[in-house]
Amino acid sequence: MERIAIQQLKEWKNKSDRKPLILNGARQVGKTWILRQFAQKEYAKEAYIVCRKNELLSNLFKDNFDTERILRGLRALSKVDITPHDTLIILDEVQEIPEILESLKYFCEEQPDYHIAVAGSLLGISLHKGISFPVGKVNMLNLYPMNFEEFLMAKGEEEAAKLIMYKDFTLTNSLHDKYVDLLRQYYYVGGMPEVVKKYVETGALQEVREIQQEILHGYDSDFSKHAPKEQVPRIRMVWQSIPSQLFKENKKFIYGVLRKGARANDFELAIQWLTDAGLLYKVCNCSKLALPLDIYKDLTAFKLYMVDIGLMGAMVNTDPAQILIQSNIFSEYKGGMTEQYVFQQMKSHTVAPIFYHNSANSRLKIDFLIQQKANILPIEVKAEGNIRANSLSTLLASDTSLHAVRFSMLPYKEQDKITNIPLYAV
């Protein structure tokens, strides 16, 4: 399967000031696969070592950070003659030996000609204490679930994916029904690579759901294994509430949904743990439509989105027929699935930071706000084709300097102050 991140890895390899690479991402998003594919395609040799339950490797890094000694040990453990420039060293499950992270500083300073990449879920990396993180001495790359374009390529729809990436809206408009059908499939399958692979190979919807449930079960097991013991029940409560939080009319995260009378200080550590793990993403309210948006971030009001739309559907046991056949799926669940999809697409294309706007005084509600160069870009998300007068129209009428984007099930169309883009072309 083709992953867009391969190109980012190629750019890393060819940097004149390349540093050791940390590949971040939630469990099961394909970190190991993509690094090994990259090594096979771009290097003469691959030195791949798994850190989990590897006592010899642990001892190698716990003694000291003599990089010559460590390289000798890595050659012995991998049985690969590691040489500069033509070998990719991959240390997987690096959270099991956190000293490896600290050693990257010395590889950056003393062995810049060696190409080294480490992979590990945020679930482990962010939680180890007592380890000096190599700030400024590493390159970072985040890997997300497969986005819609990658899903299309996996299904053999390369040309359909190219039309979206090249923004050929004349042709995408003519293939509107086909894209809608493919988008329905993506809503159900999502972007977890193992799930996509199974769906492409077999089309077996129940087997797809079983793999999604296995991934969810693995996440739940990780809560007990990695999280502070006293936080585990709260982490589970937050995690399991996300679909219901997004499926309500007001998608702002409400603590009272978790437990009557609950407050921020009861659950803020649980939310932080899940966001550090890459399983949830926080989108804060921007209290004022002015630049820079970060200044007006309201940390007390936010929405939480999941790592993957397919996993969200599996959490609430959405019926395949409801997504793949019924015509109202894009308006079901108060548009929660559609917002999740749009957010996931933006993250996969490294859009950041992302905000929303909800003004109690003016009753103005904007689904997403991003900063595009020196401009504010309001984004409205519509689950179907109904785009009657709303907050976006009010905002544009009040500020003539703004131009907005509306994602809906309508074909592409440029209006005076709004660019209408179909959801499949986010």
pLDDT the model gives residue 387 = 67
Q: Determine the structural domain holding residue 302 and report its residue range.
A: 148-425
User: Is residue 162 domain-shared with residue 138, that is, in the same domain?
Assistant: no
Percent of the chain scoring above 70 in pLDDT: 94
Confidence of residue 329 (pLDDT cuts 50, 70, 90): low
pLDDT the model gives residue 391 = 85
What does the pLDDT look like over 70-114, one tens digit per residue? 999 999 999 999 999 999 999 999 988 989 999 999 999 999 999
Confidence of residue 125 (pLDDT cuts 50, 70, 90): low
pLDDT the model gives residue 332 = 61
pLDDT the model gives residue 124 = 58
What is the average per-residue pLDDT within 276-305? 95
User: Is residue 287 domain-shared with residue 418, that is, in the same domain?
Assistant: yes
User: Is residue 288 domain-shared with residue 174, that is, in the same domain?
Assistant: yes
128 has pLDDT over 60: no
Lowest mean pLDDT among 29-43, 146-160, 349-363: 349-363
* Average pLDDT of the chain, as a whole number: 92
User: Is residue 102 domain-shared with residue 178, that is, in the same domain?
Assistant: no
Give the end of a domain, one of 142, 161, 191: 142
142 has pLDDT over 70: yes
pLDDT the model gives residue 324 = 76
pLDDT the model gives residue 226 = 86
Percent of the chain scoring above 90 in pLDDT: 81
Q: How far, in Å, CA of 144 to CA of 5, rounded?
A: 9
126 has pLDDT over 60: no
* Cβ atoms < 10 Å from Cβ of 245: 19
User: Is residue 71 domain-shared with residue 198, that is, in the same domain?
Assistant: no
Q: How far, in Å, CA of 371 to CA of 421, rounded?
A: 18
Give the end of a domain, one of 142, 159, 190: 142
Lowest mean pLDDT among 64-73, 125-134, 182-191, 337-346: 125-134
Confidence of residue 334 (pLDDT cuts 50, 70, 90): low
User: Is residue 222 domain-shared with residue 285, that is, in the same domain?
Assistant: yes
389 has pLDDT over 80: no
Higher pLDDT, 240 or 226: 240
Name the burial class of residue 189, with classes exposed (0-12), middle (13-18) and buried (19+) by CB atoms within 10 angstroms of its CB. buried
User: Is residue 81 domain-shared with residue 160, that is, in the same domain?
Assistant: no
303 has pLDDT over 60: yes
The CATH number of whichever domain residue 37 belongs to comes to 3.40.50.300
251 has pLDDT over 70: yes
Which of 355-360's residues contact partners 24+ apart within 8 Å by CB, and which partners?
A: 355/283, 355/284, 355/285, 355/286, 355/293, 355/297, 356/283, 356/284, 356/285, 356/286, 356/303, 357/285, 357/286, 357/287, 357/289, 358/252, 358/285, 358/301, 359/287
What is the average per-residue pLDDT within 198-213? 97
pLDDT the model gives residue 335 = 85
What is the average per-residue pLDDT within 417-426? 95
User: Is residue 224 domain-shared with residue 287, that is, in the same domain?
Assistant: yes
What does the pLDDT look like over 3-47, one tens digit per residue? 999 999 999 999 999 999 999 999 999 999 999 999 999 999 999
Q: How far, in Å, CA of 344 to CA of 113, rounded?
A: 36
Tally the domains of the chain. Answer: 2
Give the end of a domain, one of 142, 173, 188: 142
pLDDT the model gives residue 49 = 98
Q: How far, in Å, CA of 82 to CA of 89, rounded?
A: 8
What is the average per-residue pLDDT within 288-300? 94
pLDDT the model gives residue 362 = 65
User: Is residue 129 domain-shared with residue 174, that is, in the same domain?
Assistant: no
User: Is residue 108 domain-shared with residue 186, that is, in the same domain?
Assistant: no
User: Is residue 95 domain-shared with residue 206, that is, in the same domain?
Assistant: no
Q: How far, in Å, CA of 405 to CA of 150, rounded?
A: 23
Confidence of residue 122 (pLDDT cuts 50, 70, 90): low
pLDDT the model gives residue 309 = 97
